[in-house]
C-alpha cells in the first residue's frame, strides 16, 4: 500500500467483545462519519466502509487483531481492506496527554485513527500478523500467555509455602532438600503432614496439591510449545542461531514479532520493542533517554537473552561488548541496553535470512 495522501480516508475502530465503534476521518484528522455495529452486523460495516470511497484510499486501524477483534479483522481482510495494527500504548498515551481526559468509544476510535496519521512509524501493517484462528503464531501466543499466568501462580504458591513450612518446621524446614519443591520433597512433606490435623498442616497440604497441578500444567504447555513451534521455522532459527535464546524465549519473541517483514528496518524493530533510546533536545542541549514505551513483553524476552549472553556460560563477544561499554563510563544498566540493541540487530538478520531447505 502507498503512503497516506490528501485523498486518504483513515478509519479508526474501537474494538470490544460484542460491539465496535468506527470513525472515518480525512488526512487532517477531521471526522467524516461514524458507525456502531456488532459482530453479527459486520456486513453493515463493510457497506459503510464501501460508501466512503475507493477501497484503495481507505486505511483501517485496529488496536486488537487477534483477541476481541479477530472476527472483524478476518472479515475486513477477506474484503480486501488495508489494515494497520495500532499498539494500545499509543492511544493510552494520547488519552493521558490530552487536555480532555475523555474515555468514550467514538473518542477512542478517533485516537486509533489519528495514531495512523501522526504515528505512522509506530502503527504497523497488519496483513503479515493476522493468522487465522488456528494459526501457529496465535496458538503459541496463547500458550505463552497461559504459561506466564501459571508461572505467576506457581511463584505465589512457593512463597506462601516457604512461610508456612517455616512456621511448621522452623529454620530446618528444608530437611536437606536442594529443592524443596521437587517431586521427592513435596511427597515427603505430604507423607509427614497427612496424619496431622490442624489448620496449618491442612493449609500446607492444599497449597502443595495446587502447586503439583500447576507444575504439571506448565510441563504440558512446554511440550505443546515444542510441538507447535515445529511448524514455525523462525522459532527454530532463533533457538539454534541466537546465543542465550532457548525455545521458550524464541516462542515469546515470535509471538510478539509475528512476521519480521512488517518492520522496515532493524531500527524500526528496536523502536517497537522500546529498546532504541529516545532523544530529548532543546536548543543546543540534547541527550538520549530510555524509551519507557514499546512492546514490554518483547523487551523482556530480549532482556532475558542479554542476561544469558553475559552470564558464565554466555557469549564471548557479548561479554567483551558489555565490558567495553562499562569502560566507556556507562552504567551497568545502560551497557545492558546497548547489548540489547545489538541483539535486536541479530534477531532481525537471523529472521530475514532465507531458509536453506
pLDDT value of residue 46: 94
Span between the terminal Cα atoms of the chain, in Å? 31
Asked whether the predicted pLDDT for residue 243 surpasses 90, the reply is yes
* Residue 1 binned pLDDT confidence (cut-offs 50, 70, 90): very low
Tens digit of pLDDT for each residue in 108-127? 899 898 888 887 666 665 54
Mean pLDDT lowest among 66-75, 109-118, 254-263:
66-75
Pick left, alpha or beta for residue 90 (phi over 0 → left; psi -120 to 50 → alpha; otherwise beta).
alpha
pLDDT value of residue 64: 72
pLDDT value of residue 174: 87
- Can you tell me the distance from the alpha carbon of 332 to that of 210, in angstroms, rounded to the nearest whole number? 39
Q: What is the pTM of this model?
A: 0.75
How do the domains of the chain map onto residue ranges? 9-125, 136-230, 233-352
Dihedral sign computed on CA atoms, order 67, 72, 77, 83 = negative
pLDDT value of residue 261: 86
pLDDT value of residue 122: 63
Average pLDDT of the segment spanning 17-44: 92
Pick left, alpha or beta for residue 283 (phi over 0 → left; psi -120 to 50 → alpha; otherwise beta).
left
Residue 36's contacts (CB-CB under 8 Å, 6 or more residues apart) are 19, 20, 21, 22, 105
Higher pLDDT, 59 or 294: 59
Grid look-up 501493517 returns 125
pLDDT value of residue 128: 45
Asked whether the predicted pLDDT for residue 248 surpasses 50, the reply is yes
Q: Helices in 229-295 by DSSP H: which ranges?
A: 233-241, 247-257, 266-272
- Determine phi and psi for 285, rounding to 5 degrees: -95, 150
Tens digit of pLDDT for each residue in 123-182? 665 544 444 434 678 889 889 999 999 999 999 999 999 999 999 999 888 888 899 999
Supply 4's cell numbers. 497516506
Q: How far is CA 78 from CA 37, 70, 102, 294, in A?
A: 18, 12, 34, 29
pLDDT value of residue 311: 92
* Max CA separation in the chain (angstroms): 78
314 DSSP 8-state letter: S
Side-chain half-sphere exposure of 329, counting CA atoms within 13 A: 0
pLDDT value of residue 69: 78
Do residues 66 and 48 touch, judged by C-beta distance below 8 A? no
- Can you tell me the distance from the alpha carbon of 279 to that of 232, in angstroms, rounded to the nearest whole number? 36
Average pLDDT of the segment spanning 51-67: 84
Supply 179's cell numbers. 529443592
Q: What does pLDDT average to over the chain?
A: 87
pLDDT value of residue 288: 73
Assigned architecture for domain 9-125 = 2-Layer Sandwich (3.30)
pLDDT value of residue 357: 55
Dihedral sign computed on CA atoms, order 307, 309, 313, 319 = negative
Smallest CA-to-CA distance from 72 within 125, 33, 126, 142 is with 126
- Can you tell me the distance from the alpha carbon of 304 to that of 299, in angstroms, rounded to the nearest whole number? 9
Strands 58-62 and 82-85: parallel
Higher pLDDT, 39 or 88: 39
Dihedral sign computed on CA atoms, order 308, 311, 313, 319 = positive
pLDDT value of residue 18: 85
* Residue 258 binned pLDDT confidence (cut-offs 50, 70, 90): confident
Mean pLDDT lowest among 18-32, 123-137, 268-282:
123-137
- Can you tell me the distance from the alpha carbon of 279 to that of 216, in angstroms, rounded to the nearest whole number? 47
Tens digit of pLDDT for each residue in 178-202? 999 999 999 999 999 988 888 999 9
Contacts of 146-151 with C-beta under 8 Å, sequence gap 24+, read 146/221, 147/218, 147/221, 147/222, 147/225, 147/248, 150/214, 150/217, 150/218, 150/221, 151/218
pLDDT value of residue 115: 86
Mean pLDDT lowest among 269-283, 296-310, 318-332:
269-283
Amino acid at each position: 500500500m502507498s503512503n497516506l495522501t490528501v485523498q486518504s480516508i483513515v478509519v479508526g475502530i474501537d474494538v470490544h467483545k460484542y460491539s465496535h465503534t468506527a470513525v472515518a476521518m480525512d488526512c487532517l484528522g477531521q471526522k467524516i462519519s461514524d458507525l456502531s455495529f456488532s459482530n453479527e452486523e459486520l456486513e453493515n460495516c463493510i457497506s459503510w466502509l464501501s460508501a466512503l470511497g475507493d477501497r484503495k484510499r481507505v486505511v483501517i486501524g485496529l488496536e486488537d487483531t487477534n483477541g476481541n477483534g479477530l472476527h472483524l479483522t478476518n472479515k475486513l481482510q477477506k474484503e480486501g481492506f488495508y489494515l494497520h495494527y495500532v499498539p494500545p500504548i499509543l492511544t493510552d498515551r494520547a488519552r493521558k496527554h490530552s487536555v480532555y481526559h475523555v474515555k468514550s468509544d467514538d473518542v477512542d476510535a478517533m485516537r486509533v485513527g489519528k495514531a495512523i496519521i501522526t504515528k505512522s512509524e509506530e502503527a504497523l501493517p497488519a496483513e503479515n500478523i493476522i493468522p487465522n484462528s488456528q494459526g501457529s503464531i496465535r496458538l503459541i501466543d496463547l500458550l505463552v500467555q497461559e504459561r506466564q499466568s501459571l508461572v505467576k501462580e506457581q511463584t505465589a504458591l512457593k512463597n506462601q509455602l516457604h512461610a508456612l513450612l517455616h512456621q511448621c518446621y522452623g529454620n530446618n524446614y528444608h530437611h536437606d532438600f536442594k529443592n524443596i519443591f521437587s517431586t521427592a520433597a513435596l511427597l515427603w512433606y505430604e507423607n509427614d503432614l497427612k496424619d496431622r490435623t490442624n489448620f496449618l498442616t491442612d493449609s500446607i497440604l492444599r497449597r502443595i496439591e495446587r502447586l503439583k497441578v500447576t507444575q504439571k500444567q506448565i510441563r504440558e504447555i512446554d511440550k505443546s510449545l515444542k510441538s507447535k513451534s515445529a511448524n514455525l521455522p523462525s522459532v527454530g532459527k532463533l533457538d539454534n542461531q541466537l546465543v542465550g535464546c532457548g525455545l521458550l524465549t524464541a516462542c515469546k519473541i515470535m509471538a510478539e514479532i509475528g512476521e519480521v517483514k512488517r518492520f522496515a528496518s532493524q531500527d524500526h524493530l528496536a523502536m517497537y520493542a522500546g529498546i532504541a533510546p529516545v532523544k530529548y533536545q532543546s536548543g543546543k542541549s540534547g541527550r538520549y533517554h530510555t524509551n519507557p514505551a514499546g512492546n514490554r513483553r518483547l523487551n523482556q524476552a530480549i532482556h532475558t537473552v542479554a542476561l544469558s549472553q553475559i552470564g558464565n556460560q554466555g557469549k564471548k563477544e557479548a561479554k567483551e561488548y558489555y565490558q567495553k561499554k562499562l569502560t566507556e563510563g556507562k552504567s551497568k544498566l545502560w551497557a545492558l541496553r546497548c547489548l540489547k540493541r545489538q541483539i535486536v540487530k541479530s534477531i532481525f538478520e537471523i529472521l530475514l535470512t532465507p531458509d536453506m531447505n
